[in-house]
Amino acid sequence: MAQRQEASGRAEGRPIPSPQETLVGKYGEEAKLIYELQDQGGELLALRYDLTVPFARYLAMNKITNMKRYHIAKVYRRDNPATTRGRYREFYQCDFDIAGQFDPMIPDAECLKIVHEILSDLQLGDFLIKVNDRRILNGVFAVCGIPESKFISTCSTIDKLDKMPWEEVRSEMVGEKGLSPEAADRIGEYVQLHGGLDLIERLLQDPKLSQNKLAKEGLGDMKLLFEYLTLFGITGKISFDLSLARGLDYYTGVIFEAVLLQQENDHVEEPVSVGSVAGGGRYDGLVGMFDPKGRKVPCVGVSIGIERIFSILEQRVKASGEKIRTTETQVLVATPHKHLLAARLKLISELWDAGIKAEMLYKKDPKLLKQLQYCEDTGIPLAAIVGEQELTDGVVKLRDVATREEVDIPREKLVDEIRRRLEP
């Protein structure tokens, strides 16, 4: 399904430049990064900011109440690019979402399992997936005496706790957001907590929080989530972290973010986060915002930061001095002397028709040395060489580029021999 959508380019029913109003009111303080445009007709246009809002709109417009899909595509931010850290104005996102009315936390647990699997398989180093719930945060705010109108903007401030110390976050709360110092301090006691099932149990017993309906719901679901994650065998990398807030407006339940930890050989006491590589959460109200009758479709999803992951992998390759092949060519078709272009074209055509990945130099009479050098430069493992003698004998000289060994292979057995040599 996802594949077909991506291929047809009509997944969201709209081209990338969307009417600006589609994007308004979903991103909180990040909204200033929306890449607005103005078309000839004067209609305000903007480029999509993420893949979540277009997905929700797609579900609503097509009255789809049940769907699981991934989507890899470009999104746009009116931001200051920082190319070394993998931040661009145009970049790819890679999203996975599960939409539909299901029993609590089962799809949510699957999202976390997928993040765990991706980050493990990519061997990016040690990582941690922080988990929280918007309902728990809202409960914390309520019992700390924050008015409901300030919940979302307080979330944005708390979200900065991974980049700045508590003191600075506190002063933004009091100074910019207008919270009382006492309320800020009460919040501080909660949002600096992190742990596992034990912490969930403790908070369920917390005299103030346990009185708050939303917090209780959130903590109950968090307990369920940890049970499922235990069955998946991944709780070792999961931390229930009350400082995790996520800046976006649309989250309604569980939220999560994966961070890479400083490598052990960096000689530090406690693991330090070196950046977020995935994030997501539950957004049960977003589809309803696009449905004319407000019908809700609960959703949970995750976005993998593939640009950031690529930039980490690139830096690692660079540091290692490893050479990465940029093509998959298996054989170079070569000739040892002049006037043999026709022989090369005929042989390469045979190899292509047999599904062999073959290349040749686009010159009439290239020097053999140049052809072999090209193999070395680009990592092509085999050269198939035809000269007058080989044509007369009905053979092809198959050369192993690494060992320089050459063997005459009867022409009709060449394809099989190449396949045999390339077997893993």
Interface residues with a second copy (CB under 8 A)? 1, 4, 7-10, 14-17, 35-40, 45, 47, 74, 76, 88-92, 98, 100, 102-103, 106-107, 109-110, 113, 117, 227-228, 231-233, 306-307, 310, 326-327, 341-342, 345-346, 349, 352-353, 362-364
Secondary structure of residue 132 in the 3-state scheme: strand
133 known member of a binding site: no
Of residues 327 and 373, the one with the C-beta less far from a second copy: 327
Which positions ≥6 away from 182 have C-beta within 8 Å?
145
Q: What DSSP line would sit under 67-117, residue for residue?
A: EEEEEEEEEE--S--BGGGTB-SEEEEEEEEEES--STTHHHHHHHHHHHH
Instruction: Give min distance, CB of 69 to a second copy, in A.
Output: 10
246 known member of a binding site: yes
Q: How many CB atoms lie within 10 A of CB 79?
A: 14
Q: How far apart are CA 172 and CA 28, in angstroms?
A: 17
Instruction: Give min distance, CB of 281 to a second copy, in A.
Output: 17
Q: Tell me the chain's radius of gyration from C-alpha atoms.
A: 29
Tokens encoding 400: 């192993």
Of residues 9 and 175, the one with the C-beta less far from a second copy: 9
Of residues 80 and 326, the one with the C-beta less far from a second copy: 326
Instruction: Give min distance, CB of 231 to a second copy, in A.
Output: 4
Of residues 292 and 355, the one with the C-beta less far from a second copy: 355
Instruction: Give min distance, CB of 256 to a second copy, in A.
Output: 18
52 known member of a binding site: yes
344 known member of a binding site: no
Of residues 166 and 232, the one with the C-beta less far from a second copy: 232
58 known member of a binding site: no
Q: How far apart are CA 229 and CA 231, in angstroms?
A: 5
Cβ(184)–Cβ(101) under 8 Å? Answer: no
Instruction: Give min distance, CB of 203 to a second copy, in A.
Output: 24
190 known member of a binding site: no
50 known member of a binding site: yes
Cβ(36)–Cβ(46) under 8 Å? Answer: yes
193: Cα separation from own chain's centroid: 28
User: What are the binding residues for L-histidine?
Assistant: 50-52, 77, 93, 97, 246, 250-251
